[in-house]
A and B are shown apart, each in its own frame.
Chain A
Amino acid sequence: MRRGEHLAGWLLTLPAAIAFVALLLLPTLAAVTLAFTDYELGAWPPAWIGFDNFREMWTDRGFGQSFRNTVLYVAIVAPASVLGGLGLALLIESAARGRMFFRAVFFLPVVSLTVAMASAWQYLLHPTIGPVNALLGGLGLGGPAWLSSSDTVLLSLAFIGVWEAVGFNMVLFMAGLTAIPKELREAAAVDGARTAWDRFRLVTWPLLGPTTLFVVTISLIRSVRVFDTVAVLTRGGPNRASETLLYTMYTEGFTFLRLGYSAAITLVFLVIVLGLMLLQTRVLDRRVHYG
Chain B
Amino acid sequence: MVDAGSARGREGVSAGGALRLVVLSALGLLVLAPYLWMVSASLKPTDEIFRATLALWPETFAAGENYGRVFARVPVAQYLWNGIVVCGGILFFQLLFAVPAGYALAKLRFAGREWVFGLVMLGLLVPPHVPALPIYVGLSAVGGLNTFAALIIPSTISVFAIFMFRQFFRAMPDDIIHAARIDGMSELGIVWRIILPNAWPAATAFAIFSVVAHWNDLFWPLIAVTGHERATPALGVLYFRTEEAGDDFGALMAACAIMTAPLVLAFLVAQRRFVEGIATTGLKG
Question: In the complex, which residues of chain A have a beta carbon less than 8 angstroms from the beta carbon of B222?
Answer: 231, 250, 254
B238-285: which residues lie under 8 A (CB-CB) from chain A?
A: 238, 241, 249, 252-253, 255-257, 259-260, 263-264, 266-268, 271, 274-275, 278-279, 282-283, 285
Inter-chain CA distance A134–B154, complex, in Å, is 45
* A94: Cβ under 8 A from any B Cβ: yes
Inter-chain CA distance A23–B157, complex, in Å, is 7
Inter-chain CA distance A4–B190, complex, in Å, is 12
Q: CB-CB contacts of B100-141 with A at 8 A, as 1s and 0s?
A: 110111001111110010011001011101111111111010
Out of A15, A110, A172, A174, name the residue touching B212 (CB < 8 Å): A110
Inter-chain CA distance A263–B137, complex, in Å, is 12
Question: In the complex, which residues of chain B have a beta carbon less than 8 angstroms from the beta carbon of A134?
Answer: 52-54
Interface size, A (range): 35 or more
Asked if residues B219 and A221 are in contact (CB atoms below 8 Å), the reply is no
Question: In the complex, which residues of chain A have a beta carbon less than 8 angstroms from the beta carbon of B41?
Answer: 123
Asked if residues B101 and A15 are in contact (CB atoms below 8 Å), the reply is yes
Question: In the complex, which residues of chain B have a beta carbon less than 8 angstroms from the beta carbon of A107?
Answer: 267, 274-275, 278
Out of A4, A5, A114, A197, name the residue touching B2 (CB < 8 Å): A197
Inter-chain CA distance A91–B153, complex, in Å, is 43
Inter-chain CA distance A20–B191, complex, in Å, is 21
Asked if residues A114 and B101 are in contact (CB atoms below 8 Å), the reply is no
Asked if residues B101 and A116 are in contact (CB atoms below 8 Å), the reply is no
* A88: Cβ under 8 A from any B Cβ: yes
Inter-chain CA distance A17–B28, complex, in Å, is 45
Q: What 3 A-B pairs come out closest when comparing CB atoms?
A: A9-B110, A8-B187, A27-B131
Q: Which residues of B contact A (CB under 8 A)?
A: 1-8, 13, 17, 20-21, 23-24, 27-28, 31-35, 37-38, 41, 49-50, 52-54, 93, 96-98, 100-101, 103-105, 108-113, 116, 119-120, 123, 125-127, 129-138, 140, 153-154, 156-157, 159, 162, 186-188, 191, 212, 215-216, 218-219, 222-223, 233-234, 237-238, 241, 249, 252-253, 255-257, 259-260, 263-264, 266-268, 271, 274-275, 278-279, 282-283, 285
12 more CB-based (< 8 A) A-B contacts, given A186-B5, A227-B218: A13-B100, A19-B97, A23-B154, A30-B137, A91-B23, A114-B216, A124-B33, A130-B52, A135-B54, A228-B234, A232-B237, A262-B133
Q: Which residues of A contact B (CB under 8 A)?
A: 1, 4-13, 15-17, 19-20, 23-28, 30-31, 34, 41, 88, 90-92, 94-95, 97-98, 100, 102-117, 119-121, 123-124, 126, 128-131, 133-135, 138, 163, 166-168, 171-172, 174-175, 185-186, 189, 196-197, 199-200, 204, 218, 221-222, 225, 227-228, 231-232, 246, 249-250, 253-254, 259, 262-263, 266, 269-270, 273-274, 277
